[in-house]
Structure 1
Amino acid sequence: MTERLAPPALAGQRAKPNGGPHPRLVPVLLLKHGVIVRSQLFKVHQVIGNPLSSVERFSHWNVDELVVLDISRGSEGHDLRRDDLQQSYSGDGVLDVLRAIADVCFMPLTFGGRVRSLSDIEARLAAGADKVTLNTAAFEDPDLLTQAAKRFGSQCVVASIDAAKTADGWEVRVEGGRKETGRDPADWARETARRGAGEILLNSIDRDGSGQGYDLELIRRVAAAVEIPVVACGGVGSYEHFAPAILDAGAAAAAAANIFHFFELSYPQAKRTALDAGVPLRPLRLGSKYLPREPSYDRAREDARLAERLRQAREEDYPAARPEAAAKRRPIRWCSSCTYPSISAAPMEFDDAGKCTGCQMAEVKDRIPANEWTRRTELLRALVERYRCRDGSRHDCVVAVSGGKDSYFQTHVVKEVLGLNPLLVTYDGNNWTDVGWRNMLRMREAFDVDHLVVRPSVSTLKRLNRLAFQIMGDMNWHAHVGIMTVPMRVAAERGIPLVFYGEHGYLDLCGQFSLDDFPEVTYRDRLEHFARGYEWTYFVGREGLTAQQLDTWKYPSDTRLLDLDLRGLFLGNYVHWEANAHIALVTERYGFEISEEPFDRTYRTMSNLDDMHENGVHDYLKYIKFGYGRGTDHTCKDIRAGLMSRDEAIALVNRYDPVKPRDLARWLDYVGMTEETFDRIADTFRDPRVWRRENGAWVRDRLERQEP
């Protein structure tokens, strides 16, 4: 191959993409200790979730190619963290994760991270990768590229280059961006090509997670230096950012990570936008003939799993008390700012100072000035104008409401601030408190709007309560999935392209996203986080349930979502969200009632009035699994809002989290179960990293106040 450095393309001049007839759009998944993370500046990592559900979704979208990079550090094992999730993998190493990913990946797969030798490359290719990326190891021993190309073929070898801006150009960084090398990226790219690399993955450290678009000058320089394909990555914040990397900067493929997590049908939307801009991509297709969107489950395997759990529940010695369970136990640590533990239901990470991502993102939110919230509200106004009905033939939008304080505030913003004509839609899970029921019924008159309440059969709800408790340790599967399904389905059926929800719960609790990401409702998020991997199809045939009886929980098709451009927006991305301030507005202006009776498991009296079990037995099961509950959730919010000290919060957590709630009696009578049976089944879900048996009792470490 001839070594030469062509002059970079001038601004506004179209560069010729190197690397073949069809440019590509390539999602990148960052894998850290077995879970997918969002990255910013190679430093802040926020947990997105299970890699398997993301890869499955990409398969449904017929993605051109996929890159998975393992950025784990240290010897900590790979861990999905949740025993109540449907999707998991056996083993705790990177190859175990790769094998599981390969099973659901129907696209070319490039895998990288911690590759140090030819045997590492061979193992990853044998586990299912089509290509392997080399970064630090190749820089430290460039001959590894030559040997790898000779043994496996250049088509399997990708040189990964992480570049950081300097005063006079760019510099290659290695070891996850932490180590400076003094090497120019274009110069290093030429050497990797000469040594046999078949492709270059070029990532801008400065643009990582910024949403500001690619560093086009960097891409031009590196793409012009080599004749092998360059895959550009780092900085995508909108669908319009993809085309310039290929058409203007000469990349063979445009890759991105964060954006593909945040929006429904993000890859098809990105491809459609790039095609419209003139990028000669492969045609857009939805649906995989190999993998249906709604999962099909191995009934024999799932029956055996459930039977084993119920068998364990009948034993005198519960599973978590056994020696092999104790071997899994790791020391729990707590956030240095709030009261969240390192083993949590909400996915989070801790920084070097011990601060959780929820607190980190709360600090970012606190620094947002008033004029930025004004700008965001104006962004929202401009966005809704695209979807407003001009001829009165339909409602402007759907607002998903439960009748709680957030529902009132959402409707207030949508109707009074944005001036929209909304249809309120409520999923009725049959667990109302008296005050919650009154609040829900009052909304129609309080706001003078139409209100649709969807009420599934009580018999179906009872069966789903029992089954979900036994299968995943959460009787409220029906409610979590119903809330995220029914409003979207009503909108799809009525041709209403916009649905409003309140705040993004995982952004608020655990800092799963940045506020600059503007995450929206997605099928993947619904299936993975709200449904825990259990789609409605899982329950067909169990306790006699039919597909018709489960109709309420069926999500709109991808084709309908794309044709309608149906979007589910979280208002918390656009307006400042503080529940303690909202409650004052909705009680004074709209007559919202708070509970006169305190809850058993939290000090707050304004939350979850629509479902008595959310603050009660459902939350108690979270405590059984992870050792904390609603008291922890609420104190973390109030610490971040500056309403209480950490020591005050710790006292409340230790008071409320362990309480067994009174509403359990109602639920047991509702589903026909004894308390002893409930306790035995619940105990099988105790996380052995949290719980241990001592003198016949369950014991956990707990957070204590520091004595002065």
Structure 2
Amino acid sequence: MNRLIPIILLKNGLIVRSQLFTVHQSIGNPMHTVRRLSNWNVDELILLDISTEDRHDLRRDDLQVQYSDATLLGILPEIAKLCFMPLAVGGRIRDIESMRERFARGADKCVLNSEAVRNPDLVHQASRAFGAQAIVVSIDALRQADGRLEVHIDGGKTPTGLEPAAWARECERLGAGEILINSIDRDGSGIGYDLELVKAVSDAVSIPVIACGGVGRYDDFAPAIRQAGASAAAAANIFNFYELAYPNAKQTCLSAGIHMRPISLENKWFPREPRYDLQQEKAKLDQRMKNASDRVFTAALDQRERKMTWCTQCLYPSLSATPMEYDAHGLCMGCQIANLKRDFPDSEWTRRQHVLKDILEQARSQDGSRHDCVIGVSGGKDSYFQTHYVKNVLGYNPLLVTYYGNNFTPEGERNLQRMAEVFDVDHIIYKPGVGLLKKLNRLGFKIMGDMNWHGHMGISTIPMKIAALHQIPLVIWGEHGYADLCGQFSMNDFVEWSYRNRLEHFGRGYEWNYMVGHEGIRPADMVAYQYPSDQEIFDLGLKGIYLSNFVPWDGNANSKLASELYGFETGDIPFERTYRRASNLDDMHENGAHDYLKFVKFGYGRCTDHASKDIRSGEMSREKGIDLVRRYDPIKSSDIKRWLEYVGMSEQEFDAIADTFRDPRVWWYDGGWKRHHIKS
């Protein structure tokens, strides 16, 4: 039976998107992805650690899922606990003992690569010690300009002179049970497998061959098996791009006549929503409150490194709220993607508009019995642009859906209520009970240092629930925040909305059921935050797309358009923590209390976000940005007092709890809180 195999590339504890083995973009925590794959009973999982040093760090301490150990061997048992499928582990394997340690910690197979070339006898020794079925040799092949294929090692850096098919044949002779063949020049390309390479290796050996490298569409999987003779088709990047990526990929393979295990959308042992131990979680919260009361937060400060660097173009620090990668010149991935996007010719944006229209046409109501799509809106400048573009530029009939967090400024409230009239569209506004919202504000702050957890989860859930309820197969979002800020994906990935992204990045690992039992909250109270089931999503073909993948996206331009065409109001009073005046009018605490907590945690705030975007777009110099950041980021906004009155908390209690979230890589205490400062 053929297999469909996801590959997780792990770099310093985070999953990364890889391109040409040289560009890596941080995606997130592997635990959420492994759990998601277990939900679907995937055929097998390959985990490859491509770190140059054995250091694994989630880079922020306000997440529900944490590592108890900073090494690969330390986190492997945690991954294995969530892995309901055979697990092959590669990377950093030097000898038999390295393999023995990985097997002891949950691996079912070990993947050898560079060390197999340097010490071929290791393959033979491993096969004798553990059995051929447990030994996979990974071969990374680069196609030269003249068409010649050559094996490379050390993450593709070192040529070996070996020919892939011949080396695969030798590995089989030495005792390998499987070959994983990967195309370096196809890595991250999205143009499909190098079928000639896969076929050459498959023809050269009698053991199973796993094809990898180049998948960009679900249709790319089947040819590796049907045409090139591989036993299994594998990929890494694509499984991080789309909702239900694995079930949809398998459905495509099955439809192509590939003999595989059937699709599964549910695993009773690993349900989609994490299960939490309420008493254990309450004990953790009680300990944080005790630490806040006792002012216990300095003990760890001397035990961890404090090394901070900043992007050489924009202002983002090395320890940021968003996962960030830097190149050899210190340029952050957010700047790299912004620079590439800025260089797009008009013809590329025209092509992308046609792709967007094709997607909308597929979702359009053919008989007018429903809306063509859903747009999740907050009533902000970007919401106006989304609705303007879909309704008045492309001519479709959207249903607007809003999660109302009870925090609108007067201008924001008027902007929200005006949308149905100025666009002549239907608009659903969901308002949770204020008592519940106050509880969730308090809990979010105490548990993860973010009083707006409910807002993140509400706006990321309600539009999808409404779409599923009304059988509307398309939800349109604005910009992909992490792609925009930190370059999490390539613009050519056309990444879509996903449950994993919602839970990990919007919810920080805290699903709706985490709050049940705290402050008397019941499951019925949390209905608004319960996401549609995988079966509902699969049956409807429901997907969410980001408008920023298809049209030029500029927050300043969006604000100008909204004001000039639709009477959008900006703030009359300047914000205290940023220089922009049209930002987050839908949440009066976002620019103040919420953003101040980001400063407390990471040492920077919304002014850094705004200035970095304006530097990338060429509207601001780096020197001007640094001046603004020094002025605005440290301000403790008066908005905090309004929030404290709202939830019934003293400022002294707020400060004490907030201090427990200070990252010791950024902050230290010396007669007062000190931090690293950005330099010009």
Superposition TM-score, scaled by structure 1 size:
0.95
User: For 1:246-298, what per-residue CA distance to the aligned partner results, in whole angstroms no more than 9, with x for missing partners?
Assistant: 00111111000111011110000000011111111111111111111111101
Equivalent position of 1:425 in the other structure: 401
Equivalent position of 1:9 in the other structure: none
Q: Does 1:704 align with 2:641?
A: no
Equivalent position of 1:80 in the other structure: 58
Partners of 2:181 and 2:209 within 8 A in 1:
yes
Q: Does 1:363 align with 2:342?
A: no
User: For 1:134-163, what per-residue CA distance to the aligned partner results, in whole angstroms no more than 9, with x for missing partners?
Assistant: 000010000000000000100110000000
Partners of 2:443 and 2:451 within 8 A in 1:
yes
Equivalent position of 1:620 in the other structure: 596
Q: Does 1:38 align with 2:17?
A: yes
- Equivalent position SS for 2:354: helix
Equivalent position of 1:24 in the other structure: 3
1:281-320 correspondence runs (5 A): 281-316=260-295, 318-319=296-297
What is the aligned counterpart of 1:188 among 167, 175, 185?
167
Partners of 1:212 and 1:369 lie apart in 2 by 21
Partners of 1:329 and 1:690 within 8 A in 2:
no
Partners of 1:612 and 1:663 within 8 A in 2:
yes
Equivalent position of 1:213 in the other structure: 192
- Give how far 1:199 is off: 0.2
User: For 1:190-232, what per-residue CA distance to the aligned partner results, in whole angstroms no more than 9, with x for missing partners?
Assistant: 0001000000111100010011111100001111000011101
- Give how far 1:487 is off: 0.3
Q: CA RMSD in A?
A: 0.8
Partners of 2:33 and 2:306 lie apart in 1 by 28
Equivalent position of 1:3 in the other structure: none
Equivalent position of 2:151 in the other structure: 172
Equivalent position of 1:474 in the other structure: 450
- Give how far 1:300 is off: 2.1
* Residue type at the aligned position of 1:114: R
* Residue type at the aligned position of 1:50: N
What is the aligned counterpart of 2:431 among 448, 455, 458?
455
- Equivalent position SS for 1:516: helix
- Equivalent position SS for 2:590: coil
* Residue type at the aligned position of 1:47: S
* Residue type at the aligned position of 2:56: H
1:262-411 correspondence runs (5 A): 262-316=241-295, 318-319=296-297, 321-322=298-299, 324-411=300-387
Partners of 2:142 and 2:184 within 8 A in 1:
yes
Partners of 1:89 and 1:391 lie apart in 2 by 52
1:35-114 correspondence runs (5 A): 35-74=14-53, 77-114=55-92
1:679-698 correspondence runs (5 A): 679-695=655-671, 697-698=672-673
- Equivalent position SS for 1:621: helix
Partners of 2:12 and 2:53 within 8 A in 1:
no
Q: Does 1:486 align with 2:465?
A: no
Partners of 1:114 and 1:678 lie apart in 2 by 44
Partners of 1:341 and 1:624 lie apart in 2 by 14
Unaligned regions of 5+ residues in structure 2, if any? none
User: For 1:657-706, what per-residue CA distance to the aligned partner results, in whole angstroms no more than 9, with x for missing partners?
Assistant: 110011111100000000000000000000011100012x000011022x
Partners of 2:588 and 2:438 lie apart in 1 by 15
- Equivalent position SS for 1:64: coil
Equivalent position of 1:13 in the other structure: none
Partners of 2:521 and 2:147 lie apart in 1 by 67
- Give how far 1:325 is off: 2.7
- Equivalent position SS for 2:539: helix
- Give how far 1:330 is off: 2.9
Partners of 1:52 and 1:104 within 8 A in 2:
yes
Q: Does 1:566 align with 2:514?
A: no
- Equivalent position SS for 2:429: strand
Instruction: Give the aligned length.
Output: 679
Partners of 1:217 and 1:615 lie apart in 2 by 54
- Give how far 1:586 is off: 1.5
Partners of 2:93 and 2:301 lie apart in 1 by 31
Partners of 1:329 and 1:408 lie apart in 2 by 44
Superposition TM-score, scaled by structure 2 size:
0.99
Q: Does 1:243 align with 2:219?
A: no
* Residue type at the aligned position of 1:196: G
Equivalent position of 1:653 in the other structure: 629
Partners of 1:425 and 1:452 within 8 A in 2:
yes
Partners of 1:28 and 1:66 within 8 A in 2:
yes
* Residue type at the aligned position of 1:509: L
Unaligned regions of 5+ residues in structure 1, if any? 1-21
Partners of 1:356 and 1:544 lie apart in 2 by 44
- Equivalent position SS for 2:573: coil
- Give how far 1:128 is off: 0.3
Q: Does 1:158 align with 2:133?
A: no
Partners of 2:278 and 2:517 within 8 A in 1:
no
Percent identity among equivalent residues? 58
- Give how far 1:100 is off: 0.9
- Equivalent position SS for 1:382: helix
Q: Does 1:132 align with 2:107?
A: no
Q: Does 1:516 align with 2:495?
A: no
Partners of 1:540 and 1:582 lie apart in 2 by 39
- Give how far 1:366 is off: 1.2
